[in-house]
Amino acid sequence: MNTGEAPTRDVVVIGASYGGVEALRKLAAELPADLPATVLVVQHTSEESPAVLADLLGARGGLRAVKARDGMPLERGMIVVAPPGRHMLLTEEGIRVVFGPRENRTRPAIDPLFRTAAVHYNTRAIGVVLTGLLGDGAVGLFAIARCGGVAVVQDPAEAVAADMPRRALELVPNARKLPLGELAAVISELTRQPAPPPPPIPEALRIEVSITERIMNTQEPAELLGKPSDFTCPECRGTIRVVDDDGMQRFRCRVGHAYSADAFVAAKEQSLEESLWVALQTLQERGQMLTQLAREERARERHDTADSFDTRAREVHRHARRLLELLQELAEPTARSP
């Protein structure tokens, strides 16, 4: 998107999760038709969801809304929506739509879009975090702010889910905190401002974006960020590396699964629950088999052997009941996922 004019803040990246569809519809309805910027949207969604968000946003406002396609150029006056099951990245040439490892347990994820916007468009970028659970988008918004872009956050007090806006404000306390009804006017005003000269881009961030782009294009990364840890990736079981961003810890594995601290804990909890359900199934099957063997031995009048099988079956069923109680206890805290 090179018009030959002095650069302005003409790249708007927006991330949303739980409650985001309605928030995005309201925002799109209020953005002016002559907005001199491209608006790129990541809304957390299941990979099987129908790709209808672009139609919903285009029907509400004056901007044309389309589903992102790999290789698209940036075009002012357009909303571009990441498709389900694919990450959307920005390069100097335009938009990439790629299948890559999940970040913060989701694909599309917000942070990859924000990071690549920060490195490639720095002061031209405006990052906006809307309603959502957990913390996707916070690290990406931090990257945009570090690279001279503008950080905007929906007021957590009015968000359907306050987690994402609150985490973003914790990392970027100087971000503009605004109610949803004021966002469109502020975004419009910002996009008409000249983009100042960019500050130096942090080398670690530049490396991370390079790794992201290579991993998501199925190329082996030349470098690995962070330090090895004793943890394993909840998704691929590879070694987790700890990345320290000015005292804030993040987690990445070799193949590219990435987590904020809270997303890593949530992923580990989910992995634990899945393992416990497998263990419960195994115990129940074992108990059923022992009961069947006892019945067969008793039919052959081998009562001592049958009693032994019955005793073992009762012990296994007791362990299964205890495991089920543990699963119920683990489910008692409010389970939240993006």
Domain CATH for 80 = 3.40.50.180
Instruction: Return d(Cα 211, Cα 209) in angstroms, integer.
Output: 5
| Number of domains into which the chain is organized | 2
Q: Does any domain span residue 249?
A: yes
Using the Cα atoms of residue 48, residue 52, residue 57 and residue 60 in order, give the sign of their dihedral.
Answer: negative
Q: Which domain holds residue 140?
A: 11-191
First-to-last C-alpha distance (Å) of the chain: 32
Same domain, 187 and 235: no
Indicate which residue of 10, 17, 120, 260 is catalytic.
Answer: 17
Q: Each residue's pLDDT tens digit in the chain (338 positions)?
A: 555 578 999 999 999 999 999 999 999 999 999 999 999 999 999 887 778 999 999 987 889 999 999 999 999 999 999 999 999 999 999 999 998 888 988 999 999 999 999 999 999 999 999 999 989 999 999 999 999 999 999 999 999 999 999 999 999 999 999 999 999 999 999 999 999 999 999 988 998 888 888 777 655 554 566 788 878 888 777 888 888 766 677 787 777 788 877 778 877 777 788 788 888 888 889 999 999 999 999 999 999 999 999 999 999 999 988 888 888 887 775 444 44
Active site residue 44: yes
pLDDT of 186 reads: 98
Using an 8 Å Cβ cutoff, are 212 and 116 in contact? yes
Q: Is residue 2 part of a domain?
A: no
Half-sphere exposure of 142 (CA within 13 A, CB side): 23
Place of tokens 């108990």: 287
For residue 3, being part of any structural domain is answered with no
Is residue 307 annotated as a catalytic residue, yes or no?
Answer: no
Residue 310: active-site member: no
In a domain, 197, yes or no: no
Whether 186 and 234 share a structural domain:
no
Residues 164 and 260 in one domain: no
Q: Which of 10, 111, 120, 136 is catalytic?
A: 136
Predicted confidence at residue 20, as pLDDT, reads: 96
Catalytic residue chosen out of the listed positions 10, 44, 163, 245: 44
Helix (H, G, I), strand (E, B) or coil at 55: helix
How far apart CA 220 and CA 211 sit, in angstroms, is: 9
